[in-house]
Homo-oligomer: A and B are copies of this chain.
Amino acid sequence: MIVRDLNDLMTTDRAVSDAKWTSVRMLLADDGMGFSFHITFLEAGSEHTFEYKNHFESVYCMQGKGSITDLGTGETHAIKPGVMYALNRHDRHILRAESELVMACVFNPPVTGNEVHQADGSYAAMAELA
Interface residues of A (CB under 8 A from B): 1-7, 26-27, 31-35, 37, 39, 56, 58, 60, 62, 68, 70, 72-73, 75, 77, 82-89, 91, 93, 104, 106, 108
- The answer to whether B88 touches A31 (Cβ under 8 A) is yes
Rounded to whole Å, the gap between the CB of A123 and the closest CB of chain B is 16
Residue contacts A-B, CB under 8 angstroms, 16 given: A1-B73, A1-B75, A1-B86, A1-B91, A2-B86, A3-B68, A5-B82, A6-B82, A6-B84, A7-B82, A31-B88, A32-B88, A34-B34, A34-B108, A37-B84, A62-B62
- The answer to whether A37 touches B56 (Cβ under 8 A) is no
Rounded to whole Å, the gap between the CB of A87 and the closest CB of chain B is 6
Query: How long is the Cα–Cα vector from A84 to B39 in the complex, in angstroms?
Result: 11
Given contacts A84-B6, A104-B104, contact A89 B1 (CB under 8 A): yes
- The answer to whether A86 touches B56 (Cβ under 8 A) is no
Q: Which residues of B contact A85 (CB under 8 A)?
A: 1-3
Rounded to whole Å, the gap between the CB of A84 and the closest CB of chain B is 5
Q: Which residues of B contact A88 (CB under 8 A)?
A: 1-2, 31-33
